[in-house]
Structure 1
Amino acid sequence: MRLSFRLLLSSLGLCAGIAPLVPALADPAPVIAVNREIGLSMTGTFRNSVEGFNSRTAESGGFGRYAFTEATASSSRYRTIGWTPGFQVDASAMFNAFGIENLYGALRFSLEDGQRNYKSRHRGYSSTSGSYEYSAGGNDTSNGTDNRGEIGKGFLLLSDTFLLTPFIQGGYITSGGDGDFGYGSGRYFAGAGLKADYALSSRLVLRGRFGWAEVLNSGISYTHQPRPLWEGGLGMDYRMTRRLHLTAGGDYSYISYGRNRDSGYGNDWESTFSYSSTSSALSNGLKLHAGLAWQF
């Protein structure tokens, strides 16, 4: 957590350093103005994380009256679902430099902390003892942080009322319990995306974004391979005064950890055995946010 707050302080300091480089325009286009802000929002995040695991084993051996054969199978399901409160800090700048117009940079820190409902169910079967089943549930701690940065370039269209900004992104997510994107205590990610800002009026700007990233060392898979993270969002920015803006919106995220398979067999001097297993997991969520931003 200390690392996250250090990153937040560094981020705000960087944006403060960038601000003097932004050209002093009396009335920037609304779609440019919304990309020159530092904002604070309250958030509520709904997360649904699901994991499944199936396995089968077979063993035989012995001889004569001591010969035996045993088969087992099991199936486990885990789900964490619910809302957690939190907050989010955003800082972005759009400026001209090196003869290039509308260069874009942004930093974000968000935190969620609360409880979600945890459910688990396990079923099993053994050829020697029959079938069995048990389940558990209750509230479980769930928290996480999202630390990210974006760099891109904006392109003004439709008489400066529409701004398209492709960008590259990267960052680090942490989690406890089911966490921000599913499983594991901390993961780096990197990817790209596209932002769109459209000015309905001089005060109201509608905002949208779509992003993709690879989550490195995804944790749940046997091979720890990177897994894709998909994101999309819609929002609005309303200028109440020349500097003070009201912001609100929602962001959706989805990550699938894929289906992992493992199998094998072996034998020793008195028995042979084989096994196979599959596992899968996914996490999706919706983050709603509303707050205030200061245009610089």
Structure 2
Amino acid sequence: MRLSFRLLLSSLGFCAGLAPLAAFADPAPVIAVNREIGLSMTGTFRNSVSGGNSRLMENSGSGFITQSTSSSRYRTIGWTPGFQADASVMFNAFGIENLYGALHFSLEDGQRNYKSHYRSYSSNSAPYGFSAGGNDSSNGTDNRGEIGKGFLLLSDSLLLTPFIQGGYVTSGSDGDFGYGSGNYFAGAGLKADYALTSRLVLRGRFGWAEVLNSGISYNNQPRPLWEGGLGMDYRLTQRLHLTAGGDYSYISYGHDQEGNYSQHRGRNTSVIVSYLPGTYSYSGDSSALSNGLKLHAGLAWQF
């Protein structure tokens, strides 16, 4: 947690240091909304689901064959409160107009509902299963940076800004981004700002990133993260702005198929181990996904 707050302070200091590079005299509304430091309250809805199936067949060699299967499913769903801090700057430098840089930090901390189901069936024993549920602690942080360049269109009422992004996310026990771990990500995206009036700017964002060493699958392959958001920025005074919006994210950790506890993505495997006097065959598969919606509202100071 201390590291997260240090990142927040560093982010604010970074954008404050870039402020003198920009010309701040009466910028276009779509430029002004990219020269802000803001703080917002958030509520984040998260739905994380994972599960797996396994199949086992054992031949004792004396004609007695045992077959068994099992299935498991885990789900965490619900809302958690939090806050986010944003700092962005747009400036001209080196003969290039509307260079863009931004830093973002968000924290969520609360409880979500946890449910688990397990079932096992065997040819030589009675079926077995259990279910569990209740509230479980859930927390996470999102630390990211963006750099890009804005392009003014439609008589300076529309600003399109392609950007590249990178960062680090952490999570608690609800299965988001790797079950209580931290992961780096990198990608790109596009922002759009449209001035509906001189005071009101509508904002949109679409992003893609690869989550490195995703953690949910045994082979730890990178997985794609998709993001989209809509928001608004309303100028209350010359410097004070009201901000609000919603951001959606989705990540699928893929579908893994395994044989004899070794994962092989993208093809069926079934490992048969021979030993005297019988044989043993095992195969299985697992999958997981997480999606979330974050609503936020707060105030920003235009510099």
TM-score band (shorter)? over 0.9
Is 1:18 paired with 2:18?
yes
Deviations 1:133-161 (A, max 9, x none): 21000000000000000000000000000
Q: Can you give the 5+ residue segments of structure 2 that lack an aligned partner in the other structure?
A: 260-270
- Superposition TM-score, scaled by structure 2 size: 0.95
Is 1:257 paired with 2:253?
yes
Q: Could you say which residue in structure 2 is the equivalent of 1:57?
A: 56
Following TM superposition, by how much is the alpha carbon of 1:62 offset from its aligned partner in structure 2, in angstroms? 3.7
Following TM superposition, by how much is the alpha carbon of 1:180 offset from its aligned partner in structure 2, in angstroms? 4.7
Q: Could you say which residue in structure 2 is the equivalent of 1:92?
A: 88
Following TM superposition, by how much is the alpha carbon of 1:275 offset from its aligned partner in structure 2, in angstroms? 0.5
**1:13-52 mapped onto 2 (5 Å cutoff):** 13-25=13-25, 27-52=26-51
Following TM superposition, by how much is the alpha carbon of 1:182 offset from its aligned partner in structure 2, in angstroms? 5.5
**1:1-296 mapped onto 2 (5 Å cutoff):** 1-25=1-25, 27-63=26-62, 67-178=63-174, 180-181=176-177, 183-263=179-259, 264-296=271-303
Amino acid at match of 1:5: F
Secondary structure of the corresponding residue to residue 7 of structure 2: helix
- Superposition TM-score, scaled by structure 1 size: 0.97
Q: Matches of 2:24 and 2:200 in 1, distance apart?
A: 21
| 8 Å contact from structure 2 (residues 48, 176) kept in 1 | no
| 8 Å contact from structure 1 (residues 145, 180) kept in 2 | no
| 8 Å contact from structure 1 (residues 167, 193) kept in 2 | yes
Q: Can you give the 5+ residue segments of structure 1 that lack an aligned partner in the other structure?
A: none
Secondary structure of the corresponding residue to residue 228 of structure 1: strand
Secondary structure of the corresponding residue to residue 15 of structure 1: helix
Q: Matches of 1:61 and 1:245 in 2, distance apart?
A: 74
Does the C-alpha gap of structure 1 residues 259 and 269 become closer, same or farther in structure 2, counting only changes over 3 Å? same
Q: Matches of 1:148 and 1:179 in 2, distance apart?
A: 20
Number of residue pairs the alignment of both structures matches: 292
| 8 Å contact from structure 1 (residues 143, 179) kept in 2 | no
| 8 Å contact from structure 1 (residues 235, 250) kept in 2 | yes
Deviations 1:237-281 (A, max 9, x none): 000000000000000000000100012110111221010000000
Q: Give aligned-pair identity as a percent.
A: 80
Deviations 1:9-49 (A, max 9, x none): 11111111101111132x10000000000000000000000
| 8 Å contact from structure 2 (residues 44, 292) kept in 1 | yes
Secondary structure of the corresponding residue to residue 217 of structure 2: coil
Secondary structure of the corresponding residue to residue 219 of structure 2: coil
Following TM superposition, by how much is the alpha carbon of 1:179 offset from its aligned partner in structure 2, in angstroms? 5.6
Q: Matches of 1:181 and 1:203 in 2, distance apart?
A: 38
Amino acid at match of 1:225: Q
Amino acid at match of 1:280: S
Secondary structure of the corresponding residue to residue 277 of structure 1: strand
| 8 Å contact from structure 2 (residues 233, 242) kept in 1 | yes
> Considering only aligned residues, what root-mean-square deviation do their CA atoms show, in Å?
1.0
